[in-house]
Amino acid sequence: MERIFELIDKLEEENCLAREEWIALLKGRSPKAAEYLFEKARKWQKKYFGNKIYTRGLIECTNFCKNDCYYCGIRRSNRSLQRYRLAKEEIMECCRLGYDLGFRTFVLQGGEDGAYSQKMLEDLVSAIKDSYEDCAITLSMGELSYERYLGLFQAGADRYLLRHETADGSHYRKLHPPELSLDNRKRCLFDLKNIGYQTGTGFMVGSPGQAPEQLAEDMMFIRELEPHMVGIGPFVPHHETPFAREPGGTVELTLFLLGLLRIMMPKLLLPATTALGTIDPMGREKGVLAGANVVMPNLSPISVRKKYELYDNKICTGDEAAESWNHLNQKMKQIGYELAVSRGDYKEEEICTM
Ligand code: 5AD
């Protein structure tokens, strides 16, 4: 019991733990330990971000995907899904609406869709940059070559999100078909960092086959990569995947991991994810109170939102609709925070806003 509190203190002071310590901490966690952890997490969150929550407008550009990940609803084997691909003009229109709402970061996310050529993507990135000079562009389009990442960066992309999904090799093979490898995933992440992107990684909490041993690898890999952002959310089964009948991840463990990430890397950009908001109506508020400092409302056209179904019952109306910035802001205010109209960059320097 005492040991868990000591491990939390150690993580806060030294910003890393050994594998066995991670495992002990995760196995021995308790509601009391979580309370202790979240208090520390909020202290660091307040130190670097005050009560401001950064926003990113998420544009789900395409649900075509050449991959067949066993957990994902838009995997290529899902024949019952109606596929769509937004045209440049539609994406530009999402940005226009988003800008008026207050978004200063646009996240262009999609499956690995071969029909989006390098030229088309570079053209899109520079068009958005030309129209919205004060905005950041985040790409989340999967695994690409070094050259393609570089070209997109030179076209104006600022950030890239690519979750590693799991840092344990055999677990990686349980979640993915043989043509995908953890080595290439990691290669991509190190390439992105080397090129100069603000880089985000992350993983699902409670994916099939995940135990504290795997999570220890995830935390150690994150320490090694030193990303600027980490997106974590509960695994939520999707009915048209091989994992349809697997149990989902829990709010409790997701929140505990958010708290650990905040005290391990206090300046991290840490979203309270859509998946967390999907399995608990108060999920995002709880995420913020555990240390998260980013929300990513959906800016995709209403007509396609249902089709970007990574998992069952993914929220796509209500607060998830970017139109309800005000409502989301209200909810944040109820817990003592507010949405920021800002690019919300990673801060290398220490800036205390309180
Ligand atoms: N449950 C939760 N998250 C999922 N993702 C994909 N499928 C699921 C699922 N069934 C996450 C992956 C991916 C991100 C875009 O969505 O971690 O990186």
Q: Which two tokens stand for residue 82?
A: 């109606």
Say what the pLDDT of residue 322 is: 66
Look at residue 130 and tell me whether its pLDDT is greater than 50: yes
Q: Which residues contact 301 (CB under 8 A, 6 or more apart)?
A: 86, 90, 93, 94
Among 51-65, 73-87, 297-311, whose mean pLDDT is lowest?
A: 297-311
Say what the pLDDT of residue 209 is: 98
**Nearest protein CA to atom 2 of ligand 1, as residue:** 235
Ligand 1 pocket, residue 72 CB under 6 Å: yes
Task: Determine the atom of ligand 1 nearest the C-alpha atom of 72.
Answer: 7
CA 126, CA 113: separation in Å to the nearest integer?
20
Say what the pLDDT of residue 121 is: 98
Ligand 1 pocket, residue 200 CB under 6 Å: no
Q: Which residues contact 297 (CB under 8 A, 6 or more apart)?
A: 55, 57, 58, 319, 320, 321, 322, 324, 325, 328
Task: Determine the atom of ligand 1 nearest the C-alpha atom of 234.
Answer: 2
Look at residue 159 and tell me whether its pLDDT is greater than 90: yes
Q: What's the burial of 32, exposed, middle or buried (CB within 10 Å: 0-12/13-18/19+)?
A: exposed
Mutation probe of ligand 1 site: the residue of 68, 72, 176 with most atoms within 8 A of C-beta: 72
Ligand 1 pocket, residue 305 CB under 6 Å: no
Per residue, the 3-state secondary structure of the chain, as one string, reads CHHHHHHHHHHHHHCCCCHHHHHHHHHCCCHHHHHHHHHHHHHHHHHHHCCEEEECEEEEEECCCCCCCCCCCCCCCCCCCCCCECCHHHHHHHHHHHHHHCCCEEEEEECCCCCCCHHHHHHHHHHHHHHCCCCEEEEECCCCCHHHHHHHHHHCCCEEECCCECCCHHHHHHHCCCCCCHHHHHHHHHHHHHHCCEEEEEEEECCCCCCHHHHHHHHHHHHHHCCCEEEEEECCCCCCCCCCCCCCCCHHHHHHHHHHHHHHCCCCECECCHHHHHHCCCHHHHHHHCCCCEECCECCCHHHHCCCCCCCCCCCCHHHEHHHHHHHHHHHHHCCCEECCCCCCCCCCCCCCC
Ligand 1 pocket, residue 315 CB under 6 Å: no
Q: What is the mean pLDDT of residues 71-94?
A: 97
Per the CB < 8 A criterion, the answer to whether 206 and 234 are in contact is yes
Read off the pLDDT of residues 228-265 as tens digits, 9 standing for 90 and up.
999 999 999 999 999 999 999 999 999 999 999 999 99
Look at residue 354 and tell me whether its pLDDT is greater than 80: no
CA 222, CA 279: separation in Å to the nearest integer?
25
Read off the pLDDT of residues 303-342 as tens digits, 9 standing for 90 and up.
899 999 999 999 886 666 666 788 889 999 999 999 999 9
Say what the pLDDT of residue 261 is: 98
Say what the pLDDT of residue 350 is: 59
Say what the pLDDT of residue 33 is: 98
CA 323, CA 272: separation in Å to the nearest integer?
18
347 CA → ligand 1 middle, Å: 27
Q: Give the CATH fold of the 2-340 domain.
A: TIM Barrel (3.20.20)
CA 150, CA 183: separation in Å to the nearest integer?
19
Read off the pLDDT of residues 171-221 as tens digits, 9 standing for 90 and up.
999 999 999 999 999 999 999 999 999 999 999 999 999 999 999 999 999
Look at residue 112 and tell me whether its pLDDT is greater than 80: yes
Read off the pLDDT of residues 163-176 as tens digits, 9 standing for 90 and up.
999 999 999 999 99
Look at residue 281 and tell me whether its pLDDT is greater than 50: yes
List the one residue out of 96, 106, 162, 111 whose CA is nearest residue 135. Answer: 106
Per the CB < 8 A criterion, the answer to whether 125 and 156 are in contact is yes
276 CA → ligand 1 middle, Å: 11
Read off the pLDDT of residues 17-58 as tens digits, 9 standing for 90 and up.
999 999 999 999 999 999 999 999 999 999 999 999 999 999
Look at residue 353 and tell me whether its pLDDT is greater than 80: no
189 pairs with which residues across the strands? none
